[in-house]
Amino acid sequence: MKSPDVILVNEKDEAIGTMEKMEAHQKGVLHRAFSVFIINDAGELLLQRRALEKYHSAGLWTNACCSHQFPGETTAAAAHRRLQEEMGFDCELHEIFAFTYKSEFDNGLTEHEFDHVLLGVYNGNILPNAAEVCDYRYLPTRQILELIKNEPDTFTIWFHKALPMVLEHMKIPSV
C-alpha cells in the first residue's frame, strides 16, 4: 500500500512540491512535519511509547504525537487530526516554535524535517490507538530529564532535539 504524500519544503518552510512519504524518508528530502507536546495541570509532560510495529523508532518514548501534514492541510488541522488518531483526544494547541533536523536511522531511512512544535494542556481520558502507541504516561520534567540522561537510547531522536526548546519556552531549566 502506498503511503500518503508529504509536503516538500525549502529551509524557509516554503512548499516546493510533494513526495510519497516513504520515498522522502529513503531519499532524506526536507519535508514538513509537526510534533505535539501535551502537559497537564500538574505541569507533567505526556509521553507515548511508539508501537513496536512502527517503521522507525519503534518502542521508543517520545512526545504525545508526531506526524506529517497532508498536502493542502494546515499544521493546526494535521496536529488535531493526529492527536485524535494516536491518543484518542483533542485539545487546544498553540504552535510555539519550529526547527529543522536531519537524522539517519539504522534501517536506511532518514528523517529530514522542518518540524512545527505545538503545545497543549490536557487532563482528561486518553484512549491510545494500539497500532500507534504501546504505552503512555505523564511524568514531571525532572524525571524525564533524568531518564534521558540515564537511558538516552529509549527516546526518539526528535524528542532529544525538541525537548530543550519546549522546556525553554515553558521557562523550565533543562539541566
Task: Enumerate the active-site residues.
Answer: 66, 113
Helices (H), 37-156: 75-87, 141-150
**Nearest 5°: phi and psi at 89?**
-150, 170
What three-state secondary structure class fits 145? helix
Q: How distant is the alpha carbon of residue 21 from its chain centre?
A: 15
Rounded to whole angstroms, the Cα distance separating 81 from 10 reads: 25
